[in-house]
Amino acid sequence: MHLIMFDMDGTLVDSSKAITNTINYVRENLGFKRLEKSYILEKVNDPSINSAEFFYGTQEFTDEQTHLFEEYYNKNCLYDLEVYDGITKLIEDLKDDFTLAVATNANSDFARKMLDHVGIEKHFSTILGYDSVVNPKPHPEMVQKILNKHDIQKENAQLIGDSHKDIMAASSAGVDSVLVNWGFSDHEENAIETIEELEKKIFEKFK
């Protein structure tokens, strides 16, 4: 069997409004000013920065920050949530021939709720969030955990994401990856722009 792993935010669903509003909610509660949506989305996927330090001024996420984030996000993550054009059909086309999984740095319960809301949760055998691992992406732990769970060799897997964190996680696990450009990042190179190109990449890998 072949396995395809998807990142969620910025790859399967556009959750950009909820993410930016939540980060700004936490910032305001901590006494910081709001940041522009485009700036937040550019930085949230940047593997070279410490997100806790960048957004909230601490070396690691504190219990207060995590509580504020999850409380607000839980209430608001379904507002303005949209599945990207063509994703639902792609998942429908793949589900019979592939094991499908989600590897997201979001909370796994929120991920299930969000994917269920847009009607595709049922097609994923595994949905792993940051709370299911010790080390989230760009660390390969999530990818390795999904491979192990389904007893699939790394050569028979592919990871699709919109962030260099996704690509780094896949590479460290020895898994092929595809970088997409319809998400939160605006990549200048090595990224594909359309679902048609993604289907071609999947077909090339597994033909």
Tell me the per-residue pLDDT of 130-174, one tens digit each, with 9 for 90 and over. Answer: 999 999 999 999 999 999 999 999 999 999 999 999 999 999 999
Distance CA 63, CA 146 (A): 28
Share of the chain above pLDDT 70, in %: 100
Q: What is the pLDDT, as a whole number, of residue 185? A: 85
Q: Count CA atoms within 13 Å of residue 188 on its CB side.
A: 1
Cβ 143 vs Cβ 155: under 8 Å: no
Read off the tokens for 38.
């485009």
Q: Could you say which DSSP state residue 79 is in?
A: T
Overall pTM surpassing 0.75 (yes/no) = yes
Q: What is the pLDDT, as a whole number, of residue 32? A: 98
Helices (H) and strands (E) in the chain, counts: 9, 7
The chain-wide mean pLDDT, for the chain, equals 96
Topology adopted by domain 16-76: DNA polymerase; domain 1 (1.10.150)
Q: What is the pLDDT, as a whole number, of residue 207? A: 85
Q: What is the pLDDT, as a whole number, of residue 28? A: 98
Instruction: Give alpha helix (H) positions in 35-191.
Output: 37-44, 51-56, 63-76, 87-94, 108-117, 141-150, 164-172
**67 burial level (CB within 10 Å; 0-12, 13-18, 19+):** exposed
Cβ 92 vs Cβ 116: under 8 Å: no
Residues of the chain with pLDDT under 50: none
- Close Cβ partners of 39 (under 8 Å, ≥ 6 residues apart): none
Closest C-alpha to 91, from 152, 5, 192, 25: 5
| Annotated domain spans of the chain | 2-14+83-206, 16-76
Closest C-alpha to 18, from 4, 30, 8, 7: 8
Neighbours of 75 (CB within 10 A): 11
Q: For domain 2-14+83-206, give the CATH number.
A: 3.40.50.1000
Cβ 163 vs Cβ 190: under 8 Å: no
Q: What is the pLDDT, as a whole number, of residue 16? A: 96
Distance CA 3, CA 167 (A): 16
